[in-house]
Structure formats: C-alpha cells, structure tokens
Structure 1
Amino acid sequence: MPKFKYTVILLFFALCTFACAAICIAQPKNSTEIDYTLDLDSDEFVTLPKIFFPDIDLSGRGFSRQSIWPQELCAREVLETWQEDIGFKGLFRLQYNLWDINEFSKNKNLQDKQISNYDDVLQRITDAGGTALVTIFGTPAGLGRVLDKRSPPKNIKAFKELVKEHIRYLSCQKNYNIWYEVWSAPDLDDFFLGKSPEYLYIYRAVAQAIMELEEETGKNIPVGGPSTSWWFQNVNGNSIITPERSLIYQLIKFCYQYHLPLDFISWHAYSTDPKCEKELTSYKKTPEKLIRAWLSYFRFKPDVPLIVDEWNYDSGANLLPARGQKAEVGASYIPARLEDMYEAGIDYHTYFSMEDFKGNKENVISNVGAFWFDSDSAGYKGYPKSIYNVFRMIASLEKKLFIKPDLEDEFVGVISTEDKGRIVIIIYNYIDPDIALNFLSRSIATLQGGERKILARQVKSGELSKILSDEEEFKRLRARKRVKALLGDARRLRKSAEIFRVTPRELKLNLKNLRGTYLKQRYIVDSSCTLNCQFAPVEAKQVDIKKSYQETIILEPYSVNMLIFQPETPEPAPPPAQEKSQDDSRKEPGT
C-alpha cells in the first residue's frame, strides 16, 4: 500500500534547498464575474488527450475477509459499479503483490483462485480496450535478504525467473493489455529496504525477463518506473535543487548503459496545488521538459510517456475533511489538476485511489478513495463520494477538446469538448487553501541564494505567516525588492482566496455559431451532497438556438458544473396523404 509523500514547504524554505518557480501567475480577478466565449466553429482544438480520461488506481481497503482476494485491491462491488457507470477504457493501476501470491505456494488450489481474481480484473480492462498498469512489488518469503516483502532479493536470478513466469502467464498466455511498473515508492523505507543500485538491479531483472519473452513470442510488453514519491526523489532523499540525483535520472542512465527498455516514466505527486507540475527547476525547465531532455541525451525517444501514477488532494494528514464530509473540495480539485497536468505535458495519470483504507493489519487509515466503506460490516456496505461523480463527468467528455479560449483565472477553469454536435463543458471552481505557500514554493528559484535565506529566516522566526496576513507587518518588512515583490504577489493570492472561498462567482457563458434544437442538461457537484449522491441533471430543458447561446452560471466555491447540449433529431414529416379511390373507401380495415 503506498505511503503518501508530502512536500513540506516550510522545511524546504528552512534548508534553502527547495527551488521551484511558476512560469507565470494568473492574476486573481477581484470581480466575481467571468466571461467565457467559445466559438464552436473554431479550428483550435485537439483530440481529447488521454490525461483527461477517468483513470484510477484500483487500490483500496488494504484488507479483505477473503484471503484469496488481493489485499490491496478494492471491493468487487466497487469494480462492478465503476464498470457499469464509467467502464475501463483507459489506464488502471493494479498492485501485483508477489509476496501475497507466494504465501499460497504450498496450496496450488488457493493460489490459482487468488490469481484468478487478478485475472478477473485484468480481463475487464482488456475487454474494454483499456490498459492495466501492473505494479510488480513484494519480494516473496525466502527470496529476500530479510523476511520482509520490502526487502531486495538476495538471489536476483531466482527473482527474475519468478517474475518471468508471472509475466509469461499474464501477457503471453492470457494476452492481457499490460504495462509493467517496477515497484512503488522505492525511495521510501515503508516500501523498499534497499539502496538505489538494488532497485536498479530489480528493474534490470524485470526488463531482461520481458526482453526474453518478447524475443520468444514476438509480443511488445512495455516496462517502466521508478514510481518514486516525487519526481526528483531518490533512495537517499533529494530536493528539486539537484534533480540530476533523482532516481528517474539514474534509471534513464542505467537503462542506456545496459541497453534496457524504458517505455514510460512514473512518479507520485500529492498536493493541494493544482499547478505543482508547472514548477521550474534549477535548469530553468519544468520537470517534464527536463526529463525529456534527459531521455534525448541518453538516446531514448523524447516522447516516452510520463505518468503521475499516484495523486490526490493532500495537505499532509491521512484523514482530511476535504476527502470526506467536505468532499466537494477534493472533487473540485480533480479537473483543476488534470487541466494543469495537460498544460505541463503529462501524458497519463492514475488517481489514488478507488476506495478508502482502514481495518487493515498495517493499521493504515486514509480517506483517499472515491468510495467510502464501513469496515465493521460483515458484508459489503459502501457508497461513492461526490468525488466519484466528478469522474463520471470526466467520462462524459467528448472527443474534440477546444484549446482556446484560456480563461486565465486563478480559481475557475473550463474544459470544453464536442463531437458530432454533442457539446460537453465542465466548469470547476477550486480555491487552493494553501495558495500563498504553494505560490512561494513554485517561485523561490527565481531568487538568489541570499534572497532565499531571507525567506528562510522568516520561516524560522514565524514571521512569514504574519507578513502574509498583516498589512502593517508587510510594510515594516525590510527585504530586497524582489523578495518583497514575491511576498506581495503571495499576499494578493491569499487575499483573493479568502474572498472566493466563501463567495460564488458568475460565469457568463457565450457559445457562438451554435444552431438547432438541443436538450440542455446541467449536473452539479458541490457542498449540497458529498456521499452517495445521485448522478442526475439538476436542470434539463429544450433550447432552440438560432446562432448563439448565452447563460449566466453561478459557481459556488468548490464546485464542478457540467453542461451537456445534446442535439435533438427532428421527427420526420409524415408522408403526404393520398386520395383514396371510391372502391378503396369501402374496404374494411385489413381487407
């Protein structure tokens, strides 16, 4: 089960080692009104990128009363609900625990039943045309250096042969559509007890097993990693100031040296900041551009897919109201984060996770799931959160994504799509509760070393929070011009966030070059319902549109609206009446 890596902003400031910057800041509008005009005849569109697919990690619970059910997997009832409402045409992450599977090695019947449960999930995904991101982890008992699933193997050849047989079964015999991810969070002791070289040896063993199977069968079997807890992390700990020490860089270089495949690169990224993928590194590149530069340098294709394989709204605690009784906060974060991932250049994502965690032997309790459940119930008892309804909205998006206009508002965003006349528009209003600190963390690399030390002193003394909230403290601040300007921007963002956390916005929607009769539906996720909410339009009406459509939409704080314009096919006109002959008029019906 993954552990959640939180970016502790204040610690980075104190150490003066966290360097990241925003490309630009969308200045918050003081007005509650926003104008959005979409020209349906615009040629500024792309095929809907896969980052906008409703993809998710299928984990949950961390336990099952059925020993043969994969312990990291969510309940079967949840899988069936997702399949019925959304489907599995996308990327879905599945934890493949070699330790647990090997526990049944002395009982072939039980082991086969457990593997058949993995089969069931993988078959659902493959049949739907989706892809399973299968995370291989857990060194079986007897193969590790210590009796712990987190241990690196003591016999790497035996580990390789074990993995090879599993992949042979899954990819070559069953023909499931799988990408193999080597381990999860190997930079954290809670998930891996080895060093960087030992992780790289594990990767080589899996990659070589796959290469041998590809040579043997002619199949293409993708493999990648390293699924670190943040993109710049390594086993010994690291910061954004030295990204070349990251495990991602080490893996790219290692694969080049040993001629190993590297079909994708993955990492985790938990935050309250929807823009966290847009930070600038010390090389004046975003993480995505820097990683692609590394790939090119080591002669890999620069368009190797980049996957944020675990992400969620997160401020540091395992149990957050924003993922529970105030789930509208975490729900509105989802489309905001996806849009920024797209703009940053991320190719795929898997939201973590399908179900909450509780009642497990590790005593891990975390409300990260799209579904809540009662761990004390003998049978299944659980409900979707409003977060789930946002995924249903995302699943409703059409094939053509309009890339303009860009709203350029700090809190409100619009995702507009269309196909064959059907228009689906998602409008979100998410206000980052940590916006000032997140802005500073993205911007500190624009400062010189001495200027960063000024901020560090303010953190250590506790003055930073006063400066951000108190006008007089800010005026008394003695700092260099650039530092004061940066803090001034952070203060303005904080002030705007305080206003709009409680103040609705008005979005004036204008759809140009739209004609015909449409069934217009509106769906809403907001604070009015957070658990077991009905997914149904709050408004449905027929609209006759001559050339354009205008509407003012009230956006509550932390809300998501979806508008659907479904073209209605006019009923065919009845055929013209024909005159009946005198003889015909005398005939009885049916004669």
Structure 2
Amino acid sequence: MYQHYLSLPNTKVHIDANEPQGAHEWWRHSIGHGGINNSPLPEKVVQGARLLKPRLLRTFIQEFFDFYPDHGVFDWSKLDPYMDALHRTGADVVGCITFKPPVLYPVIDQAIWRPASVEEWQTVIYELVRRYSVERKIVTYWEIGNETDIGEWGGCPYLIKEAEDYLEYYNFTKEPILRAFPEARIGGPAIASFEDPLLFDFIDLCHRTGTRLDFVSWHLYHDDPDRHKELVLRAKERLAQFGGTRPEMLVTEWSKSFDPVSIEELAMMPRRAAATAAALLAMTEAGLDWSFYYHVWDQAVFPEQFESFYKDPSIMTVHWNEIPHRFGLFGVAEEIRPQYFVYRMYVRMGETLVKAGADDPDIRVCAVTGEDKLSVMLVNYNVSASSDRVATVHIDSLTPGRKRLLVYRIDEQRMWDEERMELLPCERRDLGTLEDGKYRFQVYCPADSVTFVTLQDAAQ
C-alpha cells in the first residue's frame, strides 16, 4: 500500500478564494419521495432529511391514500399523517397528482385519462388543494401527472402520449388548483423520457396558447453527469421563447442508471455517492432551478394498495420488492446510504462559489467560501472506470491567520456516525499562521469517492 500511494497520478487543483463565481444556492438541489406505499416517513428519516435543510420536497399523491372513496366523500386519515411527516422535514411540498378515484375512473385502464365527470374531478382537486395548500399550508407546487409518456411503468396510472391531450388534462386540472390557491406554482409533465416529443410539444403549445406554465419537469436516471447537464441546457434553450417569464426547470426525479443487479452491497458502494455528487455539480453548472433526488427512503410495495387503479400491480412488485432499485438516502431499515452525506456536505459549504478547477477531468471541484472558512468538494468519478488519485490543491487569496484543516471522505471506509448522521474526519490538523494568502496541501482521492475539505479560521 505504501508504494501504491507513492505511484498514484497527481492531479493539480487550483482555487482562488477571492474570485467569486456567484451564490452557492445549495437549496436548489433537494429530495423526493413516494409512489411506493402510503407509510409516512419514520422519525429517523424525518430528522435525517431535516438536517439537509430542504426548502422543497417532491412527492406523489397516489390513489392508495384513498381520500375520495365515494361521491362527495373525503377521507384524509391516510394522507394527513403522510403529508405531515414530509412537512416536518422543514420543506414545503411539491405535490404530484397521480391518483384515480374508482368512482371517477370505474375502468382500470392507463389510457383513460379523462374522468367520468370533469366537474366532479375539479371538485376533488379543489378540496385537495384547499386542504394541503390553504388549511395546512404544506404544498406550494402542484405537478400535474407523472411520467404520462410511459403510464403504469412510470408509477403513474395515466398514459397520455399526445401533447394536445395532456394540455387538456392539464387545463381542467389546473383551474381548480388556482381557484383554491392562486399563489400555487403549477406545471408538468414530469416526463420519463426527455426525448419523447411530449415535453417540447407541450412547451410550445403553452407558449402559443398563452397557457399559464410556472414550471416544466422531467426525470433522468443516468450515470453520466454530462447527460444531466445536457438536458438542462436543452430545456433552457427551448424555454427561451418565453423571454423574461421563462418557466422554472424542475428535475423532479433523478438518480443513477438502473442496475441489472440489485444487491445490498451495490447500494452501499461509494460510487453511488460519487455519481450523485458529480451530477449535482453538473446540474448546478447548467443553471437548473430545482432537482429532487429520488428518493429519501426505500420501501416495500404492498400490491393490494395498487389493485384499485393499476391493471398490472406486479410492475411495482418487481421494481421494489424483487429487484429493488435501492436508490434511497436511507434503506428500508432506515440505514444510511453513502449518498446521504453528499447532501450533508453540500448544504454546509457556505454561500459564495469561488473559482476552482482541476487539470484532470475525472476530478470535479466545487469551492465555496462562507463565514470563516473555505470548503472544497473533490469528486473522483469516471463513468466507465475511476482510478485512485492524489490531489495537490493550490489555494490563492486566503485570509491571513491561523487555520485548521479538516478532511472528510465518502469511500469504502464508511467513516460516519450512524446515530448522529455525521461524517467523521479522516484528517485534522492545525496549520499555523498563513501570512501571504497562499496555501497548498495534498489529499488522497480514491476511485469513486467524494472528499470534503474545510480550511477554517482557528482560535489565536
């Protein structure tokens, strides 16, 4: 191992702490949950999510909450505790409308998107919004539909392939939302495949018809951070036709690619954390308005909860019980996964991005100043295969004075405190007094790791 360290490639990283690059708006990257069962978040997960300081959290309003069991009858007994648990994270909620009351959709068919009575549907939507946006002040964004381009395969009972049909569904659904809560942000279509014409056709239709559209949304499960960045840039280009009133861009579900194998060992590998961090930095660079990592807590599916609105509940059983994706920041048993700490690190970095870069494209760098410290995130990730590195970090324009260096790392060592939900430092040292504002240090960056370094003012 000694010789291994000495023979590693040495990547140069350059940071200028006095060259601001804009605000570090960490809050734009949040979390999502739901679509699997109607269980509220357990308290450990609520508290863990709360530590991430989310401003928004996206969820599904699915039929398994059974809040409209009969004509004119509302039962909030399942949905209330679910929504309350989400709100206890400190976030307002993005509510995704993905339910089909059997009294309005008596035939189970994903291709049937128009309810038996549009008027009654609008009454249901009005009461839903009044309860969770007005009376309980939980939901501020309403997303109309989920992955309608693939229907049940996307966790949604609606298959709406044509933009004109989706616009009709969107219009008769948004009307009661805005009547109940005029301050709501409304949008969609939460598309599964960005390449499906539905997204851009819907954008163009809204622009041409003057239809209110506060945000557009799409999903992406992909290992390549550049793919995440590319879609943001393409959406931004298409939305430019709105001028200064451009709708917000929300990636309401995203994560790494679906693996052909599902075992717990894969779920605990640091590569998932590295892929998450690399994608976060790529989406930030592209100027995304909001992202919602899917998802905060893994769960099991109870097939009987889908029988009233799914023709093939086994789709969900395969996805979550037999070959589960294991994307959660917390596992089914509430254990912490490595990617949770990417968000813990990212949230605490500071307020101002500063100039930073590396001479190796496999090392992605984010440097942020705030209060009395400089924070640096180093992500060692290659889509095909990563390799170990040493990073030599050169910093200019540090404030003079005594400094303390702390290094944290998400890697195979799993150096975290499960109970306190905190990373543990793998290096800590005082640096003495810096007088000229320049400093360099070296740090080990294993393959598929995220390294977090702080240089903090120390007591005199």
- Match of residue 86, structure 1, among 31, 49, 52: 52
- Give the TM-score, by structure 2 length: 0.83
Please identify which structure carries the higher strand content: 2
Task: Tell me the equivalent position of 1:394.
Answer: 346
What is aligned with 1:58? 33
Q: Which residue type is aligned with residue 179 of structure 1?
A: Y
Q: For 1:513, which of 385, 397, 400 is the aligned residue?
A: 397
Q: Structure 1 residues 340 and 253, CA, compared in 2 at 3 Å: closer, same or farther?
A: same
TM-score normalised by the chain length of structure 1: 0.66
For 2:79 and 2:212, locate their aligned partners in 1 and report how far apart those are by CA, in whole Å: 27
Tell me which structure has the larger Cα radius of gyration: 1
**2: CA distance, partners of 1:155 / 1:185:** 23
Contact 1:385 1:532 in 2 (8 A): no
What is the correspondence of 1:185-264 to structure 2 with a 5 Å cutoff?
185-190=147-152, 191=156, 192-196=158-162, 197-214=164-181, 219-233=182-196, 246-264=197-215
RMSD: 2.9
Aligned to 2:281: 339
1:141 counterpart (102, 108, 111): 102
Residue of structure 1 equivalent to 2:311: none
1:199-233 alpha-carbon deviations (Å, 9 max, x no partner): 3222112221233235xxxx411001100012222
* Residue in structure 2 matching 1:163, options 110, 114, 125: 125
Q: Residue 228 of structure 2: which of 274, 277, 297 is its match?
A: 277
- In the other structure, the counterpart of 2:239 is 295
Aligned ranges for residues 126-525 of structure 1 at < 5 Å?
128=90, 130-144=91-105, 146-147=107-108, 151-152=112-113, 153-176=115-138, 178-190=140-152, 191=156, 192-196=158-162, 197-214=164-181, 219-233=182-196, 246-279=197-230, 287-297=231-241, 299=242, 301=244, 303-317=246-260, 319=262, 323-325=266-268, 327-361=269-303, 362-363=316-317, 364-365=319-320, 366=324, 367-373=326-332, 381-402=333-354, 404-407=355-358, 409-433=360-384, 497=385, 501=386, 503-514=387-398, 515-525=400-410
Q: 1:344 corresponds to which letter in structure 2?
A: A
Residue by residue over 1:18-53, the C-alpha shift from the partner in whole angstroms, topping out at 9 and shown as x without a partner, is xxxxxxxxxxxx9811111212222x3201134x65
What's the secondary structure of 1:329's corresponding residue?
A: helix
Tell me if 1:554 matches 2:450. no
Which residue in the other structure is 2:65 paired with?
100
Q: Specify the SS of the correspondent of 1:260.
A: coil
CA contact (8 A) 2:415 2:424 kept: no
Q: Aligned residue for 1:573? A: none
Amino acid at match of 2:391: L
- Judged with a 3 Å threshold, the aligned counterparts in structure 2 of structure 1 residues 53 and 314 are, in CA distance, closer, same or farther, namely same
Question: Structure 1: how far apart are the matches of 2:261 and 2:451?
Answer: 28
Closer/same/farther in 2, CA of residues 92 and 566 from structure 1, 3 Å limit: same
* Contact 1:308–1:349 (Cα < 8 Å) also in 2: yes
Counterparts of 2:235 and 2:334 in 1: how far apart (Å)? 40
2:294 and 2:300 map into 1 onto residues whose CA distance is 15
On the 8 A contact 2:29/2:290 being kept in 1, the answer is no
Post-superposition CA distance 1:425-461 (Å, at most 9, x none): 111101212xxxxxxxxxxxxxxxxxxxxxxxxxxxx
* Structure 2 match to 1:536: 424
Paired residues of 2:147 and 2:190 also in contact (CA < 8 A): yes
For 1:195 and 1:230, the matched residues in 2 are separated by 12
CA distance in 2, matches of 1:293, 1:54: 21
Letter in 1 for 2:14: T
**SS of corresponding position for 2:453:** strand
- The 3 A distance-change label for structure 1 pair 528 and 38 is same
Q: What's the counterpart of residue 13 of structure 2? A: 36
Q: Structure 2: which amino acid aligns with 1:521?
A: L
SS at match of 1:432: coil
Task: For structure 1, list consecutive stretches of 5 or more residues without a partner in the other structure.
Answer: 1-29, 64-69, 234-245, 280-286, 374-380, 434-496, 571-591
Residues in 2 aligned to 1:154 and 1:413: alpha-carbon distance in whole angstroms: 52
Quote how far apart the aligned CAs of 1:92 are: 1.1
Conservation of the 8 A alpha-carbon contact between 1:32 and 1:506: yes
Deviation of residue 91 (structure 1)?
A: 2.4
Q: CA deviation at 1:247?
A: 1.4
Q: Name the CA distance, whole Å, in 2 between partners of 1:161 and 1:103.
A: 11
Amino acid aligned to 1:163: I
Deviations 1:298-338 (A, max 9, x none): x464542111111111144372678514x201111111111
Percent identity at matched positions?
A: 19
| Residue aligning to 1:376 | none
Q: 1:229 to 1:104 in 2, by over 3 A?
A: same
Residue segments in structure 2 that go unaligned for 5+ positions in a row = 1-6, 304-315
